[in-house]
Chains A and B, each alone.
Chain A
Amino acid sequence: MTSIRVTETPLVTYVLRRADDALVLGHRLSEWCGKAPMMEEEMALANMGLDLIGQARALYTYAGEAEAAGHDEDALAYRRDERAYRNLLLVEQPNGDFAVTMVRQLLYAAYADPYWRAMMSSRDATLAAIAAKAEKETAYHLRHSAEWVVRLGDGTPESHERTARALMTLWPYTGELFETDAVDDAMIEAGIAVDPASLRDTWRATVADVLGRATLTMPADGYMQKGGRSGRHSEHLGHLLTELQYMQRTIPGATW
């Protein structure tokens, strides 16, 4: 089916970006199903994936309402191509080994947890309500991924090595968490969004604490990758969307 065209007001774009973060990361976690290193972790990865997909659904529904062009959650998730997706590059990075997945989760949750907490006092009542639920969920994701990063970092030489490597691989995608553009400025101005710059110290402190306990060194900030927010993605996202959108594209316009 042909892709939809979304009329992106600042609010629509702002909400879509968060929805895409949640869906893409939730999808990545769902790829672990049946492959987790232990059955208890199978349950935990599914829990986190379900939380994120739930957040995505609420956010897409709201983006659709804000756009008022009749696009529901599925139209927005299944009928935009990769150039229209607005998620962070960090969340689309492949699962890799369990260390990559847990480090990715930590780096995201250490940002998302204070982000949603701050968003609870957004002037936008819908976003504030979504934030209240998302904050509780993200607090658990942060705790869970932090525990694993500590265990892996301070586990065996092999797990330490793998976790250190994961950290190096993913670090260049952390700069984008704090990027802002005209959309963010407008939303911050309106009291709808929080300024990500205000979350930076909290994020660094959280990550530094976990890495310290994990006997890992925080990488230096080198050149940072960006582009996700404006639809310039890594090659990975197209494959993810090809799989995600397969049925809706194969039998267009059907009810499922």
Chain B
Amino acid sequence: MYTQGLASGVDTNERQLEDAALLQRFQERIDAEERIEPNDWMPEAYRRTLVRQISQHAHSEIIGMQPEGNWITRAPSLRRKAALLAKVQDECGHGLYLYAAAETLGVAREEMVDQLLAGKAKYSSIFNYPTLTWADIGAIGWLVDGAAIMNQIPLCRCSYGPYARAMIRVCKEESFHQRQGYEIMLTLCRGTAEQKEMAQDALNRWWWPCLMMFGPPDSASQHTDTSTRWKIKRFTNDELRRKFVDATVPQAHFLGLTVPDPELRFDEATGHWVHGAIDWDEFKQVVAGNGPCNTQRLERRRRTEQDGAWVRAAARAFAEKEKSHRNAAAAA
């Protein structure tokens, strides 16, 4: 989900050049559910797909700090303020683990961050929507972290070891965020009329963008095949979306909220909730850079990089001096 913009990564010529025996052995290991580790042989396209997916996931965690960070200074109680600050800090930590996981594939964090800042890397479309009220913090925890979990639990069994292990750690924290977000919603829904209205409004604005987080419908998605064969992806976009809807609709009902989809119905035959049509045009626009906050999010990241440049330069200069002092002391 945090990797919706993923384009098909396999170059056929390149694959033919690779040793067929190595490739076969690699696929056998994948089929046997063995984990691939950084020093193991892997096809170039596997490496490239993973770098793209893991770095997009990392970028999403980092950009995702902004919409929630928007409410830290205005959180309505000290308990909520501390919990939100800790949550956003967790997301930063996720970004750090994920960049580290991607680095095991031979790409430096700086390079990945440069791509993000240059507007060449994608991150989850969801973070291009604004947080307008406190209820949005509840809705993001409940829905966005909830959708992230749906996508990331299968990634805990991803064939690439460092990514799978990062996901296990991340998923634990995301479930905690999800419960915390739901609890914010529950408190609002049991509160004053104004609070409940705020909660409904947040659901109205976040519901559809959350369904879009799982990416284009299976009928339109080109890259699932290879990713599935390599056990990077274990469920299709539509399957994950359906799991999310099935899990979330009863939670909305428990809150006493209305899902903003007049066509939503429970299908007795399949036992699944069926939702109405998703506005894929909106999704395409947001992915293409035209969402309500795309410009603002990237601008903010760039400004942060720029503002911090002198600090990083000072840290480097100081480390250099320390090193030469140490060397001088060792030589003396």
Closest Cβ of chain B to A20, distance in Å, is 12
A73 CB within 8 Å of chain B: yes
B92 CB within 8 Å of chain A: yes
Give bound CA distance, A60 to B314, whole Å: 39
A-B pairs with beta carbons under 8 Å apart, 25 shown: A30-B73, A31-B72, A34-B65, A34-B66, A34-B69, A34-B300, A34-B304, A35-B304, A38-B311, A42-B89, A46-B92, A47-B89, A49-B85, A57-B78, A154-B318, A155-B317, A156-B317, A158-B310, A159-B313, A243-B74, A246-B74, A247-B75, A254-B194, A256-B134, A256-B187
**Are the C-beta atoms of A98 and B308 separated by less than 8 Å?**
yes
Q: Annotate A1-43 by CB proximity to B: 1 below 8 A, 0 otherwise.
A: 0000000000000000000000100010011011111111111
Closest Cβ of chain B to A236, distance in Å, is 13
A74 CB within 8 Å of chain B: yes
Name the prevailing secondary structure of the B interface residues.
helix
Q: Annotate A52-74 by CB proximity to B: 1 below 8 A, 0 otherwise.
A: 01101100100000000000011
Besides A34-B65, A73-B78, A154-B321, 14 new A-B residue pairs in contact (Cβ under 8 A), listed by A number: A33-B65, A33-B88, A40-B96, A47-B89, A53-B81, A53-B85, A74-B77, A78-B76, A98-B311, A155-B317, A156-B313, A159-B311, A254-B192, A256-B80
B191 CB within 8 Å of chain A: yes
Q: Annotate B57-96 by CB proximity to A: 1 below 8 A, 0 otherwise.
A: 0000010011001001111111111100110110011011
**Are the C-beta atoms of A30 and B92 separated by less than 8 Å?**
no
**Are the C-beta atoms of B310 and A156 separated by less than 8 Å?**
yes
A162 CB within 8 Å of chain B: yes
Closest Cβ of chain B to A200, distance in Å, is 30
A151 CB within 8 Å of chain B: yes
**Are the C-beta atoms of A155 and B81 separated by less than 8 Å?**
no
**Are the C-beta atoms of B82 and A50 separated by less than 8 Å?**
yes
Closest Cβ of chain A to B32, distance in Å, is 37
CB neighbours (8 Å) of A41 from chain B are 311
**Are the C-beta atoms of B78 and A77 separated by less than 8 Å?**
yes
B312 CB within 8 Å of chain A: yes
Closest Cβ of chain B to A137, distance in Å, is 13
Closest Cβ of chain B to A45, distance in Å, is 9
Closest Cβ of chain A to B17, distance in Å, is 38
CB neighbours (8 Å) of B309 from chain A are 37
Give bound CA distance, A73 to B78, whole Å: 8
B294 CB within 8 Å of chain A: no
Number of interface residues of B (CB under 8 A): 44
**Are the C-beta atoms of B95 and A39 separated by less than 8 Å?**
yes
B195 CB within 8 Å of chain A: yes
B315 CB within 8 Å of chain A: yes
Smallest Cβ-Cβ distance to A152: which chain B residue: B314
Give bound CA distance, A185 to B62, whole Å: 49
Give bound CA distance, A34 to B311, whole Å: 15
Q: Annotate A139-151 by CB proximity to B: 1 below 8 A, 0 otherwise.
A: 0000000000011
Q: Which of B275-332 contact A (CB under 8 A)?
A: 300, 304, 307-315, 317-318, 321
Closest Cβ of chain A to B248, distance in Å, is 23
Give bound CA distance, A247 to B72, whole Å: 12
**Are the C-beta atoms of B88 and A34 separated by less than 8 Å?**
yes
A251 CB within 8 Å of chain B: yes
Smallest Cβ-Cβ distance to B309: which chain A residue: A37
**Are the C-beta atoms of A27 and B73 separated by less than 8 Å?**
yes
Closest Cβ of chain B to A174, distance in Å, is 23
Closest Cβ of chain B to A82, distance in Å, is 16
Partner of A155, one of B76, B190, B195, B313: B313
Give bound CA distance, A150 to B74, whole Å: 33
**Are the C-beta atoms of B86 and A31 separated by less than 8 Å?**
no
**Are the C-beta atoms of A53 and B191 separated by less than 8 Å?**
no
Most central of B134, B192, B311 by chain A CB within 10 Å: B311
**Are the C-beta atoms of B187 and A251 separated by less than 8 Å?**
no
Give bound CA distance, A73 to B66, whole Å: 27
A244 CB within 8 Å of chain B: yes
CB neighbours (8 Å) of A57 from chain B are 78-79, 82
Closest Cβ of chain B to A51, distance in Å, is 10
Q: Annotate A218-256 by CB proximity to B: 1 below 8 A, 0 otherwise.
A: 000000000000000000000000011011100100111
Closest Cβ of chain B to A155, distance in Å, is 3
Give bound CA distance, A25 to B14, whole Å: 57
CB neighbours (8 Å) of A27 from chain B are 73
Give bound CA distance, A251 to B77, whole Å: 12
Smallest Cβ-Cβ distance to B304: which chain A residue: A35
CB neighbours (8 Å) of B74 from chain A are 243-244, 246-247
